[in-house]
Amino acid sequence: MLSETGDVAIPRRGLLLALSSPSGAGKTTLAKRLLASDEDIVMSVSATTRPMRPGEVDGKDYFFLTPDAFEEQIAEGAFLEYARVFGNIYGTPRAPVDEAIEAGRDVLFDVDWQGVQQLRQAARDDLASVFILPPSIEALEQRLRSRGQDSDEVIASRMAQARDEISHWAEYDYVIVNDDLDASEHKINAILASERLRRSRQTGLTDFVRGLA
């Protein structure tokens, strides 16, 4: 079976791609570029009990649930992972992830190191994790300032948190120093391309090879 581009289409299992970084290193920018350039990967939408903020859209930013509905869904095993943060609950709905993976599509996660640990427990070999580092501490602070979203106080607290987040770099499968944005985007694309080619993910190989005999 040859496609128009000459590629043989071998069915594959999708993967979970987790991106982490200290705030300001460029994770959101890189995630947006990846989602815009690759139609086989979608962002995971979490559920939360926290109130919706102005401008947020239910089903896009989060699925907003009541505490009772959230607890009920926890009891039903509806979450791949969840965490209680500042009196609210946040979690990753399991069904959309399972459906995507079975259909050979990938799911992108924007999570901190604790979220990655939980995803690793839940998803094991389906997970590939990438840590994004800034080229220097000065560049990190400069990016936080140039983003223009935070006060001096918030920036100082993000810089303190950044050192803690960075200390978990060695728990990741891949590390990218985000100096040049285009180069970093190419690196993420390369990671995704090779993770998709893992033999274990090419579920159609057995049939394909049988057909060669």
Sites of contact with ligand 5GP (CB under 6 A): 46, 50, 81, 83, 85, 90-92, 112, 115
48, 90 Cβ separation under 8 angstroms? yes
Nearer to ligand ADP, 23 or 73 (CB): 23
Q: 125 or 164, CB closer to ligand ADP?
A: 164
Q: Which residues contact 183 (CB under 8 A, 6 or more apart)?
A: none
Q: Does 186 bind ligand ADP (CB under 6 A)?
A: no
The listed partner (ligand 5GP, ligand ADP, none) that binds 115, CB under 5 to 8 Å by sort, is ligand 5GP
**Which residues, including other chains, have CB under 8 Å from residue 98's CB and lie 6 or more apart?**
none
Phi, psi of 192 (to 5 degrees): -65, -45
Residue 24 near residue 158, CB atoms below 8 Å: yes
Q: How far is the CB of 93 from ligand 5GP (least distance, A)?
A: 8
Q: How far apart are CA 12 and CA 10, in angstroms?
A: 6
The nearest distance, CB 210 to ligand ADP, in angstroms, is 45
* CB nearer to ligand 5GP: pick between 22 and 104: 22
Decide: is 138 part of the binding site for ligand ADP (CB under 6 A): no
CA 57/CA 67 separation, integer angstroms: 18
Q: Which does 91 bind (CB under 5 to 8 A by kind): ligand 5GP, ligand ADP, none?
A: ligand 5GP
- Binding residue for ligand ADP (CB under 6 A) from 64, 143, 168, 191? 143
| Binding at 85: pick from ligand 5GP, ligand ADP, none (beta carbon under 5-8 Å per type) | ligand 5GP
Task: Give the burial string for 176-208 (b: 16+ CB within 10 Å, else e).
Answer: bebeeeeebbebbeebbeebbeeeebbeeeeee
Among ligand ADP, ligand 5GP, none, what binds residue 21 when CB lies within 5 to 8 Å by partner kind?
ligand ADP
- End-to-end Cα separation, the chain, in angstroms: 15
φ/ψ of residue 61, rounded to 5: -80, -45
> Under the criterion CB under 6 A, does residue 145 sit at the interface with ligand ADP?
no
Q: Is residue 23 near ligand ADP by the rule CB under 6 A?
A: yes
